Amino acid sequence: MSNDDELLTSEAVCAGGMHIPVLPDEVVRHLGDPGRRLIADCTVGLGGHAALLLAANPALQIIALDRDETNLQIAREALSAYGDRIRIIHANFAELPRALREAGLEKVDGLLADLGISSNQIADPTRGLSFERDGPLDMRLDRREKTTAADLVNTLSEGELSDLLYFQSQERHSRKIAKRICQVRRQGRINSTVLLSRLVAAAMGENPDAHRGKIHPATRTFMALRMSVNRETESLQEFLAAAPECLNPGGRIAVISFHSVEDRVVKEDFRDRGREGLYAVLTKKPIVAEETEREHNPRSRSAKMRVAERLAKA
């Protein structure tokens, strides 16, 4: 099973269970030392990593960002015991410089970005992220975004749909799926997650009801649409571009990705910053979960963490 396939399986598994932060010990080891006084958790989610870091370092303060207002409220309540050591800001991590200015800051001692989506997001049918729970074909993680998955499915040309599926999630059947979508939408707008998942399965010659224990045939299609709706790759690139100027010398950036597209973007950015003399790359190979964590938390199977340290300017 490939790393991407493990991601697809683990997302389906965690949809019905409690969200557990991945690579907890590794995150604390790289970002939790006492010398770090200020960290930006740029994708705070439900607050799991932030809580671990605050507990590990009593002197630490965290600026917590997330694009999802619902998760921010959950994190606010979960982290309330830490008082003014945590400040929460509604922002996409691509907006990091703006968020820091809003907090009256320029630089921090650490940056953390967990690029996965949380289990409660998948489990909520109104978000349209699940191919098993019927709901509107939305997929926006930030309601400020205007474009939904339904907009893409119903307005893009067949060629544009095929390219989106292939380049965002390496869907090998992208042409067949795009053709089938365009055929079905001539009969009426595609607005339902279950309708989309079933027509994708049909395009691939798969039985959507016979995938138990296997990868659902619509998984890569849903992942590609979600990434496009939320501009996930573009946002990651913007975040990585801004990161060096937001870090104090000696500050660290840790990014946890869950599929090869994102991991490659992070790897190449860290490599290029290293050549520019901005970063010392601390992970020649990505950090992955130990077997015990993989068994306890299936979502961790595909997690890869890369870490770099900001060098002083020459």
pLDDT per residue as tens digits for the range 35-65: 899 999 999 999 999 999 999 999 999 999 9
Mean pLDDT, rounded, for 180-191: 97
Given a cut of 90, whether residue 268 has pLDDT beyond it is yes
Given a cut of 70, whether residue 213 has pLDDT beyond it is no
Report the C-alpha gap between 44 and 64 in whole angstroms. Answer: 6
Say what the pLDDT of residue 189 is.
Answer: 96
Say what the pLDDT of residue 86 is.
Answer: 97
Q: Residues of the chain with pLDDT > 90: what percent?
A: 82
Q: Is residue 299 part of a domain?
A: yes
Report the C-alpha gap between 135 and 40 in whole angstroms. Answer: 34
Q: Is residue 200 part of a domain?
A: yes
Number of Cβ within 10 Å of residue 280's Cβ equals 15
Given a cut of 90, whether residue 7 has pLDDT beyond it is no
Mean pLDDT, rounded, for 294-302: 90
Confidence of residue 235 (pLDDT cuts 50, 70, 90): very high
Confidence of residue 9 (pLDDT cuts 50, 70, 90): very low
- CATH code of the domain in which 180 resides: 1.10.150.170
Confidence of residue 105 (pLDDT cuts 50, 70, 90): very high
CB neighbours of 293 closer than 8 A, spacing ≥ 6? 22, 23, 300
Given a cut of 50, whether residue 2 has pLDDT beyond it is no
Number of Cβ within 10 Å of residue 101's Cβ equals 11
Averaged confidence pLDDT in the chain? 91
- Tell me, yes or no, whether 107 and 155 share the same domain: no
Which residue in 102, 97, 108, 112 sits closest to 48, CA to CA? 112
Confidence of residue 299 (pLDDT cuts 50, 70, 90): confident
Q: Domain boundary residue among 171, 194, 229?
A: 229
- Tell me, yes or no, whether 223 and 240 share the same domain: no
In the chain, which ranges are continuous DSSP H helix?
3-14, 24-31, 48-56, 69-78, 96-102, 119-123, 149-155, 158-169, 174-185, 193-203, 219-229, 232-246, 260-275, 291-296
DSSP string, 269-312: HHHHHHHTTSEEES-SS-B---HHHHHH-GGGGG-EEEEEEEPP
- Tell me, yes or no, whether 248 and 224 share the same domain: no
Number of Cβ within 10 Å of residue 311's Cβ equals 18
Say what the pLDDT of residue 20 is.
Answer: 84
Given a cut of 50, whether residue 17 has pLDDT beyond it is no
Say what the pLDDT of residue 194 is.
Answer: 94
What b-and-e string marks burial along 40-51, b requiring 16 or more CB atoms within 10 Å of the CB?
A: bbbbbbbbbbbb
Given a cut of 60, whether residue 218 has pLDDT beyond it is yes
Query: What single-letter DSSP state applies at residue 47?
Result: S
- For the stretch 129-177, pLDDT in tens is 988 889 999 999 998 889 999 999 999 999 999 999 999 999 999 999 9
Say what the pLDDT of residue 211 is.
Answer: 62
DSSP H or E stretch at residue 89: strand 86-90
- Tell me, yes or no, whether 83 and 104 share the same domain: yes
User: Which structural domain, as residue segments, surrounds residue 272?
Assistant: 3-119+232-310
Report the C-alpha gap between 61 and 68 in whole angstroms. Answer: 21
In 15-157, which ranges are continuous DSSP H helix?
24-31, 48-56, 69-78, 96-102, 119-123, 149-155
Count of structural domains within the chain: 2
Q: Residues of the chain with pLDDT > 70: what percent?
A: 92
CB burial class (10 A; 0-12, 13-18, 19+) of residue 271?
middle
Confidence of residue 215 (pLDDT cuts 50, 70, 90): confident
- Tell me, yes or no, whether 9 and 105 share the same domain: yes
Q: Domain boundary residue among 171, 203, 229?
A: 229
Q: Domain boundary residue among 181, 212, 229?
A: 229
Say what the pLDDT of residue 19 is.
Answer: 65
Say what the pLDDT of residue 6 is.
Answer: 38
Report the C-alpha gap between 23 and 283 in whole angstroms. Answer: 14
Mean pLDDT, rounded, for 91-114: 96
Report the C-alpha gap between 69 and 49 in whole angstroms. Answer: 18
